Amino acid sequence: MNDEPRPTSSRRGLVTAMIGAVMTAAAAISTSVFRGGQAKANGNSSEPGTKERKVQYGMVIDVRRCIGCHACTVACKSEFDVPPGVNRSWVEYVEKGVYPNVGRSFLPRLCNHCSEPPCVSVCPTDATWKREQDGIVVVDSGLCIGCKYCIQACPYDARFLNPVTNVADKCDFCIHRVSQGLTPSCVNTCVGGARIFGDLGDPDSDISKLIARNQVTVLRGEMGTLPNVYYISADHTDEIDAGRPEVRKVEVITHRRDKKRR
């Protein structure tokens, strides 16, 4: 009778160990691929040498195509049930000159979704913030206390206190539509195609190509807010320019309850 101990290893144990190692490696590879795919889908990549690109939505308004029909204003009011007298989006008329040298131009207005929004820093409850995923400046109606600080801080007169909800309100680029791959309501309804919406961070987007091909301006660039709404061929004449001899007379019609432009 042989009393020597039997070896503990066997062919079956070796095969089992090999199978376990293969499954562990496959799981690791699958996890790595999944995370990489998710990162790319979100615009982020962990691959060496790849720079993360953030989305920044913006709008170009080509005033050459605007006919002052106010379809954008009506569409916005309908989309959000905006009360009378206040607007998320509106169109101003700028009339200047003395007969027979007179002219009228249109200037569509809305929140500029600034890269450096002053409305964010003054909000005492953090109800206003700029979304990291797309650069849209939003208002949380549940946190807003209606103090009007953001309204005073906005150099574009784009905010108002909603008379129904008593909280700050403004354009949000129709987040509910954009998140579904649709354009904002004002863009969708513009009969002249004057509004172009898209990702300013994508050089291949229609909006980026349009800016590259045309001379664009922004409203109140001296404020340092870095607005993300651009204009082509916009007349920025204000009523304070009436003292210029070549202008002589300027009237800005806001079509809002507030008759004077801020």
Question: pLDDT of 102-120, one tens digit each?
Answer: 999 999 999 999 999 999 9
Question: Is residue 6's pLDDT more than 80?
Answer: no
φ, ψ of residue 20 in degrees (nearest 5): -60, -40
Question: Is residue 177's pLDDT more than 50?
Answer: yes
Question: Is residue 259's pLDDT more than 60?
Answer: yes
Q: Give me the mean pLDDT over the 156-175 stretch.
A: 97
Q: Give me the mean pLDDT over the 200-207 stretch.
A: 97
Instruction: List C-alpha distances in Å: 242 to 96, 97, 220.
Output: 8, 9, 18
pLDDT reported for residue 245: 87
pLDDT range class, residue 20, cuts 50, 70, 90: low
Q: Give me the mean pLDDT over the 253-261 stretch.
A: 90
Quick one: what percent of the chain has pLDDT higher than 90?
Answer: 73
Cis ω on the peptide bond leading into residue 100 (within 30° of 0)?
Answer: yes
Q: Give me the mean pLDDT over the 65-92 stretch.
A: 97
**SS3 assignment, position 45:** coil
Among the ranges given (59-68, 197-206, 247-256), the one the predictor scored with the smallest mean pLDDT: 247-256
Tell me, what amino acid is at 225? T
Q: Is the pTM of this model over 0.85?
A: no
CA–CA separation, 160 and 158 (whole Å): 7
Q: Mean pLDDT of all residues in the chain?
A: 86
Cβ contact 261:93 at 8 Å: no
